[in-house]
Amino acid sequence: RERALQRLVVDLISRGLIRSAHDCAEGGFAVTLAECCFEAGGIGAVASIAGVDAGDGTDRLAATLFGESASRVIVSVATGDVAAVTTAAARAGVPATPIGRTGGHAIRIAVDGQVVVDVGVSEAEARWSAVLSNWLDGQAA
């Protein structure tokens, strides 16, 4: 799966069909989407995804938002290129689903139709960038 995904992403980038790509390795879907927004200079995103069951008793929402399963990438694609990207993914045997759009100044994520994250990009980035120092400050107390 990983090899097919990486080959597909490289091919789509070389064809100019992908504007950005970020793996979901550290922190799962929610953290990856937030990092994409930070790296884009504060451009927000609205996404709607299906929930996942980790199968190990993990909370469904936590598994969906923060699961670090392998071989997942969030890509941004021009609206006119979505069909070409999903068609190429199907041909490569790589599951691909349009999940939303970019724009605005907020990160909004719905899981199974219910909005579970709705935060301004700047607020999310401020919290994300301070998490380690806040944790270390708490450890020193």
pLDDT digits (tens, 9 = 90+) for 7-16: 999 999 999 9
pTM: 0.87
Q: What confidence category does residue 139 fall into, taking pLDDT thresholds of 50, 70 and 90?
A: low
DSSP structural state of residue 90 = H
Winning range, highest mean pLDDT, from 33-37, 56-60, 125-129: 33-37
Average pLDDT, the chain: 91
Q: Which residues contact 94 (CB under 8 A, 6 or more apart)?
A: 1, 4, 5, 8
Cβ atoms 48, 33 nearer than 8 A: no
Mean pLDDT computed over 27-56: 92
User: Does the pLDDT at position 121 exceed 90?
Assistant: yes
What token pair was written down for 128?
Answer: 């994300």
User: Does the pLDDT at position 4 exceed 90?
Assistant: yes
User: Does the pLDDT at position 72 exceed 70?
Assistant: yes
Residue 100 pairs with which residues in a beta bridge? 47
Distance CA 110, CA 47 (A): 6
Mean pLDDT computed over 75-94: 97
The DSSP H or E segment spanning 92 is helix 82-92
What token pair was written down for 82?
Answer: 């979505």
Mean pLDDT computed over 96-102: 96
User: Does the pLDDT at position 53 exceed 70?
Assistant: yes
Amino acid at 118: D
